[in-house]
Structure 1
Amino acid sequence: MTNKAIPFGSDLLFEVYVNQTNFRGLSVGYELNEFRYEALTDLIFDALPDFALTYKEKITFGVANCRQKMRRAAKLIYQSDKYKKRGEFGEILLHAVMRDYFGSIPAISKMYYKDGSNETVKGFDAVHIVPVHDDLELWLGEVKFYNSISNAIRDVVKELNAHTNKDYLRDEFLFISNKIDDSWPFAQKLKDLIDEKTTLDKVFSRLRIPVLLTYDSQIVRRYRQACNNYKKDLIDEIHKHHDTFRKNNLPKNIEIVLILIPLEEKAKLVDKLHKKLKVWQEI
């Protein structure tokens, strides 16, 4: 970890089954013989305001306006009953993991720039930075909040190759630069790094792409407790999916950090998240 601060306490929720430089395998495990849906839901909602609100909205967050801002954050996610295949909750989960495990700081809130309440925002799923001495690393996240690991790998590999294309990156950097709040402490350093005059060679040396994939796990479904056999079988499963991911044609000269989070049943988790979102939208 690059930062001792743990904003959302993910380290208390997740067990880390694989901890390598560019590969993490995380699981919430069980409580009283049940998969920990509620705990994972709570983590995502703990991170929701930090994910959805702008820098100015967050620094003015206080006792007098917290209810209003929490409701606003919830409404920015979506306001639709067609939620089964939406990916925003996966983006919030990626946000929390990046903040807690890699010490990142969000640069912009892409939710704020939706054209409509139920529109999706194109481009990278997270735009964060990590301060390193007097410089910055740029962390551009991708997430596939899926139930199928094979589909998640297939789709994210396509996006990784498309999103690291020179023209695409230049367009994305222009979008990001236009949305950076000038009062944010790292505004000018990030604008300089992604300026069109800065060579992409310099950007790539400071670029990290965390890729978070969820999936319905046969191992998680098979067990009810995090016993030794569960741990062994889950580690084997996670490594197998990591090997499959790395065998694909991935972008060259860019550091990709794979984060795998196996679930019992993604659809059940999404139903719980949707119900809680509706409550937050009415607080």
Structure 2
Amino acid sequence: MDFSILIDCHFDDLKLIEPSEMTAQKKVLSVVNDYEDGKWRYTKFQDFIWDNIAETSLSQRERESLGGKPSSLLRAAAKNLRLTDKDGDIGRGSELAEIVLYGIMKHQYSALPVVPKIFYKQNSQDNAKGADSVHIVLEGKDFSIWFGEAKFYTSIKDARLGSIIASVENALDTNKLKKENSIITNVSDLNGLCLDAELVARIKDSLSNQNSIDGLKPRLNIPILLLHECDITNGSGTFSAAYELEIIEYHKQRALAYFKKQAEELGGRVFLYSEIKFHIILFPVPQKAPIVDKFVSKVEFLRDE
């Protein structure tokens, strides 16, 4: 991944508070873009979106059929977007954030894109339900399941944390989890990943709706991407040591506030909460509107070609 990583560790390693059940199974990832000629590199960020859009909005069969045709691939991907990014402040940037999360999952966690979620949502007209991303990560001869949430906000102050946690709780609903599992086992993409047949069989068995969802909880990871406007990033013109230190401190405090509130709200409501691994991924941008406007403009241009 071309972006810089400022924090990548277990939450307890930050030593912000005493380790407890609240802090166990929690990780923090801080990702930042750099600057050029005194300006944040908007073009580099947009390139990351478009370099990763196909695996998010097209099925494996569609991607393979358009192999070697990059222009056709992007046009097909653009046409599959719901373009909810035209919505109000809360909704704007939601699909863009989903694409960024897919890219981070692929490049940072070596995740396999089992379900191209934007493709699925578009074709099922099931826009608002379930996780924003679905991945499998191989861990030696074993595997973990990742159901992600992606948000793009103008602020990640305390007032916004409740809506994020509500989305996470919704995705962890037993019926939603079983629905996601059935999607994974029914789409053909899992069979096209060139995995060992025995491993594919074990994955499908673990996700079978005949089994209790409780057995899946120790394998379950919830990456939560928070793309967010940041005064520190907007006020800087260079990728300096001082900028890095300021972002690191800010992201530490936001991670602490988030995990504390999540434990308070979900710790007693989500069964086997302590068995689930949560990853908060923080990515600051100077301003949200130019990024979303540029993205929407390019999507509309490709759709009209």
Global fold match (TM > 0.5) = yes
Alpha-carbon offset, residue 117 of structure 1: 10
Aligned partner of 2:227 in structure 1 is 214
Match of 1:74 in 2: 78
User: Residues 180 and 245 (structure 1 numbering): CA distance in 2 closer, same or farther, change over 3 Å?
Assistant: farther
Aligned position for 1:192 = 205
* Residue range with higher mean Cα deviation, 225-234 or 54-63: 54-63
Question: Residue 228 of structure 2 contacts residue 284 of structure 2 at CA under 8 Å; is this kept in 1?
Answer: yes
Query: Residue type matched to 1:279 in 2?
Result: F
Map 1:84-233 to 2 at 5 A: 85-86=91-92, 87-114=94-121, 120-150=127-157, 152-181=160-189, 183-185=191-193, 188-233=201-246
Q: CA deviation at 1:199?
A: 3.0
Q: Structure 1 residues 150-159 or 84-93, which shifts more? A: 150-159
- Taking structure 1 as the reference length, the TM-score comes to 0.86
Question: What is the one-letter code of the residue matched to 1:53?
Answer: L
Residue 88 of structure 1: how far off its partner (Å): 0.5
Shift of the 83–38 alpha-carbon distance from structure 1 to 2, 3 Å rule, reads: farther
2:28 corresponds to 1:39? no
User: Structure 1 stretch 105-114 or stretch 77-86: which is displaced more?
Assistant: 77-86
Deviation at 1:180, TM superposition (A): 4.4
Cα deviation, residue 219, structure 1: 0.8
Q: For the structure 1 residues 233 and 203, does the alpha-carbon distance in structure 2 shift closer, same or farther, using more than 3 Å as the test? A: same
User: 1:175 Cα shift?
Assistant: 3.8
Cα distance in 2, alignment partners of residues 44 and 182 from structure 1: 24
Shift in CA distance, 53/152, structure 1 to aligned 2, threshold 3 Å:
farther
Q: Which runs of 5+ in 1 are unaligned?
A: 1-9
Question: Which whole-Å CA distance do the structure 2 matches of 1:192 and 1:273 have between them?
Answer: 39
* Counterpart AA for 2:138: P
Partner Cα separation in structure 2 for residue 81 and residue 125 of structure 1: 14
CA-CA distance at 1:134 after TM superposition:
2.6
Alpha-carbon spacing, 1:91–1:106, altered in 2? closer, same or farther (3 Å):
same
> CA contact under 8 A between 2:178 and 2:213: conserved in structure 1?
no
Structure 2 unaligned regions, length at least 5 = 11-26, 267-272
2:249, 2:83 → 1: CA distance? 39
Q: How many residues align?
A: 271
> In structure 2, what is the equivalent of residue 60 of structure 1?
65
Larger helix proportion of the pair? 2
Q: Deviations over 1:117-145 (max 9, x none)?
A: 99735210001101122322111111111
Q: 2-side partners of 1:197 and 1:59: how far apart?
A: 33
User: Which amino acid in 1 is paired with 2:145?
Assistant: L
Q: Which runs of 4 or more aligned residues in structure 1 lie more than 6 Å from their structure 2 counterparts after TM superposition?
A: 116-119
CA gap 1:50/1:169 in 2 versus in 1, 3 angstroms: closer
Normalising by structure 2, report the TM-score: 0.80
The Cα shift of 1:268 comes to: 1.4
Q: 1:34–1:137: structure 2 CA closer, same or farther, 3 Å change rule?
A: same
Aligned residue identity for 2:242: N
In structure 2, the residue matched to 1:6 is none
Rounded to whole Å, the distance in 2 between the matches of 1:232 and 1:163 is: 33
Give percent identity, aligned residues only.
27
Q: Secondary structure at the match of 1:281?
A: helix
Q: Is the 8 A contact 2:86 2:296 kept in 1?
A: no
The letter of the residue matching 2:78 is A
Question: Structure 1: which amino acid aligns with 2:178?
Answer: R
1:4 is aligned to none
Check 1:152–1:55 CA distance in 2 against 1; reply closer, same or farther (3 A cut): farther
**Closer, same or farther: CA 222–176 of 1 in aligned 2, 3 Å:** same
Matched, 1:277 2:285: no
Segment of structure 1 superposing worse, 133-142 or 74-83: 74-83
Aligned to 2:14: none
Deviations 1:175-194 (A, max 9, x none): 44333446424554432221
Instruction: Give the whole-Å Cα distance in 1 for the aligned partners of 2:166 and 2:107.
Output: 27
Q: Distance in 1 between matches of 2:253 and 2:243?
A: 15
Separation of aligned partners in 1, 2:48 and 2:184: 27
For residue 79 of structure 1, report the CA deviation from its aligned partner: 5.4
C-alpha deviation, 1:152, in angstroms: 4.5
1:258 paired with 2:265, answer no
CA contact (8 A) 1:111 1:121 kept: no
